[in-house]
Amino acid sequence: MPVNQSPIHTTPMAATDGRLFLRDREVDEAAALIRAAARTLDRLVGSATARSGLLSAELDILIELHDRSVGDVSRLRVSLGAPKQSLMRNLALLEAKGLIKRRIASADRRRRIVELTEAGLELAGAAVDQRRDMLRQVLIAAGPEAALGARRFLEGVIARDSKPRDSKR
């Protein structure tokens, strides 16, 4: 199979018959495509920083900080979905490598702010540039309507996770 070809095969009928797109098989195929796309993005971003020796979780932190400029440790933990201990350990490793710096927030001394250093910005920037170029090519090929639909879909998935949980579960 060619490297760029998806190993997931969608049902042709689902694309033409709107009534079939919510069948279990199509939903399962969509979930498999999302996981495969996430792995592809991880590999692509990882290849841009392979020589750095960073762990995937460390790279995730750098990219999140790159996308947001400066991060509060609590907000960073929530956006990454990382346990506090793991995040703190990875932040310490990144700080020791000179890729981030941490400081106490001036307005609220209980908050810790995390920023990329120049080296961190350069490393994360290379990964983000590669991710952006690949996503831009895919979005252009899909067209504006499909790109908007994909964005709505992904925002819907994220929104489902951020809704309050039923306390009886």
Q: Map out the domains of the chain with their CATH numbers.
A: 12-156 (1.10.10.10)
Q: What is the pLDDT of residue 18?
A: 59
SS3 at position 21: coil
Q: What is the pLDDT of residue 44?
A: 81
Q: What is the pLDDT of residue 7?
A: 52
Q: What is the pLDDT of residue 3?
A: 47
Q: What is the pLDDT of residue 43?
A: 84
Q: What is the pLDDT of residue 144?
A: 93
Phi, psi of 145 (to 5 degrees): -65, -45
Strand ranges (E), the chain: 70-72, 100-104, 112-116
Q: What is the pLDDT of residue 166?
A: 46
Q: What is the pLDDT of residue 119?
A: 95
Low-confidence stretches of the chain (pLDDT < 50) are: 1-5, 11, 13-14, 165-169
Residue 67 CA to chain centroid, in angstroms?
10
In degrees to the nearest 10, what's the CA dihedral of 64, 68, 72, 77?
-30
- Give residue for tokens 């310490």: 92
